[in-house]
Amino acid sequence: MQVETPAATKFFADRLAEAVERKRSQLVVGLDPRLDLLPVELRGDAHVARSAAADAVARFCCGIIDAVAPHTVAVKPQLAFFEALGADGLRAFEETCEYAHAAGLLVLADAKRGDIGSTARAYAAAYLEGEKPVADAITVNPYLGRDSLEPFFGACRRQGGGVFCLVKTSNEGGGDVQDVRLSDGGVLWQHVARLVAEWGEDLVGEHGLSSVGAVVGATHPRAVGEARRLLPRSILLLPGVARAFTSGPASALVAASRSVIYGFRQSGEDWRTGASGQAARLKSEIWAASGW
Amino acid sequence: MQVETPAATKFFADRLAEAVERKRSQLVVGLDPRLDLLPVELRGDAHVARSAAADAVARFCCGIIDAVAPHTVAVKPQLAFFEALGADGLRAFEETCEYAHAAGLLVLADAKRGDIGSTARAYAAAYLEGEKPVADAITVNPYLGRDSLEPFFGACRRQGGGVFCLVKTSNEGGGDVQDVRLSDGGVLWQHVARLVAEWGEDLVGEHGLSSVGAVVGATHPRAVGEARRLLPRSILLLPGVARAFTSGPASALVAASRSVIYGFRQSGEDWRTGASGQAARLKSEIWAASGW
């Protein structure tokens, strides 16, 4: 009797790098489905029942996926908007992820999770493990330190998952904690960047990139350059274009959410046409700006 | 025609303080439902289908609530274990919260959420807002700063919700970020504690306690004393007993999960009897140790 050996697990960073090069795109479309912003034709009874709202959200996300799939390497569903609809919302999240996978896209679950011990293991299991993981990568929070993220790194090693760790965020209050001055003269987020680089060292794939990436607010162009220097192997997930591609074409991803998925609200076009057009335009702009 | 005016919203901190004094208990039972640890009689087909697993989890959590309700002021369901079962798991979470409310308990959603802008608003809406909020309070992560938590504070003001912000955690890697030495000579978690005190200032209720609490790892007894000093108005959520009650009987809560809900695995008792006995014992020990 022969024992079937599973194909060697490919690192997330390599899967992503191959997708970026094949599609010539570093665009990630963020799926932030807010009921009040959905196309009117989809809303139906969404204001009455949660299940109808969740159906509308799933239809919207799947329609957007169809529209942007040729132009994007990944979608980034934001868990909060699905959780706001409870269990029905989580079902819409699962449908959305499955649909994105069927469309050949990677799925980055924007969850910003972080907890300890068996709780962290449960989060890793929820998103990155099992026979068919819901997502390919997940965003996480570094405040609880290395052992809180170890279960995610384990999923990266064993199942080819990826992690994007919050390092420097673009919101107004981001500095409250991230910009605190340290005794070494630097600031906290630089310390966190060094930790993330260290945590990702043994997850560097064939393309020279690690499956442990970093979320960096590109509204701070100097911070992006500094993060690139501190995190030479990490894939940076940025909310806008910046000089972050010096470690290769797949060394940064640019996430765009509202400008793509709610583009129709400005242009008056059909929502799918609007999303597709915006994604195509952004993809080209980013590729050109990346210098590859 | 008369317009009905809603009763003035009572602060979470006051609701909790009244429950603590009425029940003479500062015990919070953590609901961490791990399939492999459930009583055999509940497992049934839980290994086959997620919906059966979620049913088993809901039955377990409701049984534990019945068993511990006389001895505890709140339950703390850990979202990760429900999320690990997907949409079915989230339905079990909702059932559990509703059941706990019906049993007269407060619900602290252990979610450790933290995100920016409309995402943060969606998380606040998911757990603390609406006609019947799922939970009374939620654990959050401070890494993204004040504005990321403002939607939760808004829910505290308008709907009587509560927040427990991570400050100092008990896990091995907790120091990676939290113990970083700052230029002022202190360490990061002390800075975060001061921020949390500031954020909670305008949410102090009639009992002198704020609805913005703090999670503090009680495995560091000196840290608990220090946190108490830095956070005189905050309700501390601790994983064990410590000298934290100097700001009043409701100024700290002690969370116990596995020792209560899986007590039967040690004792061989019926799982409900085990949970009830452990909760009663802990409640008395904590009350005695609190010095009130």
The model's pLDDT over A125-166, given as tens digits with 9 standing for 90+, comes to 999 999 999 999 999 999 999 999 999 999 999 999 999 999
Q: What is the pLDDT at residue B7? A: 54
Mean per-residue pLDDT for B82-104?
Answer: 97
Q: Do B116 and A171 touch (CB under 8 A)?
A: yes
Instruction: Report residue B2's pLDDT band, with 50, 70 and 90 as the boundaries.
Output: very low
- Is A221 a residue whose pLDDT tops 80? no
- Is B240 a residue whose pLDDT tops 90? no
ipTM of the complex: 0.90
CA distance B165 to chain A (A): 12
Instruction: Report residue A6's pLDDT band, with 50, 70 and 90 as the boundaries.
Output: very low
DSSP chain B: -PPPPPPPPPPHHHHHHHHHHHHT--EEEEE---GGGS-HHHHTTTTT-HHHHHHHHHHHHHHHHHHHTTT-SEEEEBHHHHHTTHHHHHHHHHHHHHHHHHTT-EEEEEEEE---HHHHHHHHHHHH-SSS-S-SEEEE--TT-HHHHHHHHHHHHHH--EEEEEEE--SGGGHHHHTPBBTTSSBHHHHHHHHHHHHTGGGB-TTS-EEEEEEE-TT-HHHHHHHHHH-TTEEEEESS--S--TT-TTSEEEEE-HHHHTHHHHH-S-HHHHHHHHHHHHHHHHHHHHT-
Q: What is the pLDDT at residue B222? A: 85
Q: Do A182 and B178 touch (CB under 8 A)?
A: no
Mean per-residue pLDDT for A24-51?
Answer: 90
Measured distance CA(B89)–CA(B132) in Å, rounded: 20
Instruction: Report residue A2's pLDDT band, with 50, 70 and 90 as the boundaries.
Output: very low
A84 touches chain B (CB under 8 A): yes
Q: B10 an active-site residue?
A: no
**Can you say how many angstroms the Cα of residue A193 is from the centroid of all Cα atoms in its chain?**
18
Q: What is the pLDDT at residue A137? A: 98
| Tokens found for residue A122 | 């449960």
Q: Do B141 and A112 touch (CB under 8 A)?
A: yes
Measured distance CA(B265)–CA(B267) in Å, rounded: 6
The catalytic residues of A are 112
Angle separating helix axes A50-68 and A86-102, nearest 10 degrees: 20
| Tokens found for residue A250 | 């797949």
Instruction: Report residue A3's pLDDT band, with 50, 70 and 90 as the boundaries.
Output: very low
Q: What is the pLDDT at residue A5? A: 41
Q: What is the pLDDT at residue A9? A: 86
Tell which A residues from 94 to 133 touch B, by Cβ distance under 8 Å.
94, 110, 112-120, 122-123, 125-126
In degrees rounded to 5, what are phi and psi of residue B166?
Answer: -60, 130
Instruction: Report residue A4's pLDDT band, with 50, 70 and 90 as the boundaries.
Output: very low
Q: What is the pLDDT at residue A8? A: 63
User: A238's torsion region: left (phi>0), alpha (psi -120 to 50) or beta?
Assistant: beta
Measured distance CA(B240)–CA(B42) in Å, rounded: 29
Measured distance CA(B8)–CA(B15) in Å, rounded: 13
A5 touches chain B (CB under 8 A): no
B144 touches chain A (CB under 8 A): yes
Find the catalytic residue in B10, B23, B76, B112.
Answer: B112
Q: Do B119 and A80 touch (CB under 8 A)?
A: yes
A219 touches chain B (CB under 8 A): no
Q: Do B182 and A178 touch (CB under 8 A)?
A: no
Q: What is the pLDDT at residue B199? A: 98
Instruction: Report residue B1's pLDDT band, with 50, 70 and 90 as the boundaries.
Output: very low
- Is B4 a residue whose pLDDT tops 50? no
Q: Do A32 and B118 touch (CB under 8 A)?
A: yes
- Is B5 a residue whose pLDDT tops 70? no
Q: What is the pLDDT at residue A100? A: 98
B194 touches chain A (CB under 8 A): no
Q: Do B177 and A123 touch (CB under 8 A)?
A: no
- The model's pLDDT over A169-214, given as tens digits with 9 standing for 90+, comes to 989 999 999 999 999 999 999 999 999 999 999 999 999 999 999 9
Which residues are within 8 A (CB) of A53 and not within 5 positions of it... i.e. 6 or more apart? A35, A46, A47, A85, A88, A89
- Is A93 a residue whose pLDDT tops 60? yes
Mean per-residue pLDDT for A105-132?
Answer: 96
Q: Whole-structure pTM over 0.90, yes or no?
A: yes
- The model's pLDDT over A38-83, given as tens digits with 9 standing for 90+, comes to 999 998 887 788 899 999 999 999 999 999 999 999 999 999 999 9
Measured distance CA(A125)–CA(A144) in Å, rounded: 18
Mean per-residue pLDDT for B148-165?
Answer: 97
> Which residue, among B90, B95, B143, would best test binding to A if mutated, counting the most A CBs under 10 Å from its CB?
B143
Q: Say what percent of chain A tops pLDDT 70.
A: 95
Q: What is the pLDDT at residue A239? A: 80
- The model's pLDDT over B27-73, given as tens digits with 9 standing for 90+, comes to 999 999 999 999 999 988 877 888 999 999 999 999 999 999 999 99
Contact A76, A284 (CB under 8 A): no
